[in-house]
Structure 1
Amino acid sequence: MAIISDPVLTVLLCALGYLAGSVLFALPISRAWQLPDPRAQGSGNPGATNVYRNGGWAPAATTLVLDAAKGGLPVWLASASGLSILAQAMVALCAVTGHMIPVFYRFKGGKGVATALGAGLALAPVTTLLLSAIWALVMWRWRISALASIVAIISGPLISAILEPDTLPLFGLLALLIVVRHRNNLIRMAQGREPGF
């Protein structure tokens, strides 16, 4: 069986994934709730956590669901089209990359955690649900979203290697990308300045 089962369709869905990822739902949702632009408030990150700080649970949950959906839908389409696991992983990475460096917003995006959640649920649901549980436990204990995200994502390669080994390369790359995107949070945590809940 070919590693990339349909190169043309893979490229098309990778492009779709990147474009979908490039839609930062935190911005229109903040406008709909008459909230400040999340890029200019709090951490400056256009994601669910910062929307929560600005407006509470309802707009934050909506942002989370939509940011996850834009990661999950392209991967689901790749799976439904019969593409290989590798091709699906490429589509997932393109969606997450779109959120991080969105073409629609001068390549200045977010951390990619919610988009990775959606893509992971579509491609490796068991691993992703366990990572979500790790996130929830760390969040419950320390109340710092960035810490919960980092601990969860760096657990991904090990858990995927045990439970869904075909997706190990995806979780390895996601861990690298997301930790790099959290570098400022890591600095603030080391200085004791990272905001909690």
Structure 2
Amino acid sequence: MMFVNDPILTVLLCTLAYLLGSVLFALPVSRLWRLPDPRAQGSGNPGASNVYRTGGWAPALLTLALDAAKGWLPVWLAVTFGLPVLSQAMVALCAVTGHMIPLFLRFQGGKGVATALGAGLALAPATTALLAIIWGLTLWRWRISALASIVASVSGPLISALIEPDTLTLFGLLAILIVVRHRNNLIRLAQGRETRL
């Protein structure tokens, strides 16, 4: 496909990605299931892990799917419209940033892992699939969601450099963002106080 270098389209998709990212589906899913606010659980993160703690696998998987979809859709549009890889990466970062710093929740958001998963599947499916496997194996071994997310995110730049090098910058930036958002989890991990699933 020929690349369409259209800055207006890039800005529109970045705006769409941020606004979609700002919708944190853990909250409406919890209301639908009549569950407690997920922000009152675990690390206080409005994401699938805390929804799992309050309601089990069904609402957690729905939250994960919806948070991933809002990352996937705008990036898929950027790919479909033939925007350059750099523009696609910008759209992906805007979606993840929207989840972390959401307009609709006074800029108090989540960790962005599920949204990064969806954006990555649209832009770099091979790298993202391997990172999902790393996440799953780490979670299976230690039962700590934050640890799985950190291990997978810091593995991103290395794996992308090996198999999808055009996306190395994106996965490098995502790793930085996700690790910074997990800084309190890192402290609890070091102290042995991080909660398990």
Identify the residue that residue 66 of structure 1 maps to in structure 2. 66
Q: Distance in 2 between matches of 1:143 and 1:189?
A: 12
Q: Distance in 2 between matches of 1:115 and 1:101?
A: 13
Q: Distance in 2 between matches of 1:44 and 1:154?
A: 22
Identify the residue that residue 43 of structure 1 maps to in structure 2. 43
Q: Distance in 2 between matches of 1:140 and 1:163?
A: 25
Alpha-carbon displacement from aligned partner over 1:80-130 (angstroms, at most 9, x marks no partner)? 111011100000000000000000000000000000000000000000000
Matched-pair identity in %: 78
Counterpart code for 1:122: A
Q: Distance in 2 between matches of 1:195 and 1:10?
A: 40
Identify the residue that residue 136 of structure 1 maps to in structure 2. 136
Is the partner of 1:95 in helix, strand or coil? Answer: helix
Q: Distance in 1 between matches of 2:185 and 2:88?
A: 30
Q: TM-score, normalised by structure 1?
A: 0.97
Instruction: Answer yes or no: is 1:26 the counterpart of 2:26.
Output: yes
Is the partner of 1:61 in helix, strand or coil? Answer: helix
Alpha-carbon displacement from aligned partner over 1:125-146 (angstroms, at most 9, x marks no partner)? 0000000111111111111110
Gaps of 5+ in 1: none
Is the partner of 1:122 in helix, strand or coil? Answer: helix
1:94-133 residue pairs with structure 2 within 5 A?
94-133=94-133
Q: TM-score, normalised by structure 2?
A: 0.97
Question: Residues 67 and 114 of structure 1 are in contact (CA less than 8 Å); yes or no, is this contact kept in structure 2?
Answer: yes
Question: Residues 4 and 82 of structure 2 are in contact (CA less than 8 Å); yes or no, is this contact kept in structure 1?
Answer: no
Instruction: Answer yes or no: is 1:170 the counterpart of 2:170.
Output: yes
Q: CA deviation at 1:39?
A: 1.3
Q: Distance in 1 between matches of 2:183 and 2:173?
A: 16
Question: Residues 95 and 115 of structure 1 are in contact (CA less than 8 Å); yes or no, is this contact kept in structure 2?
Answer: yes
Gaps of 5+ in 2: none
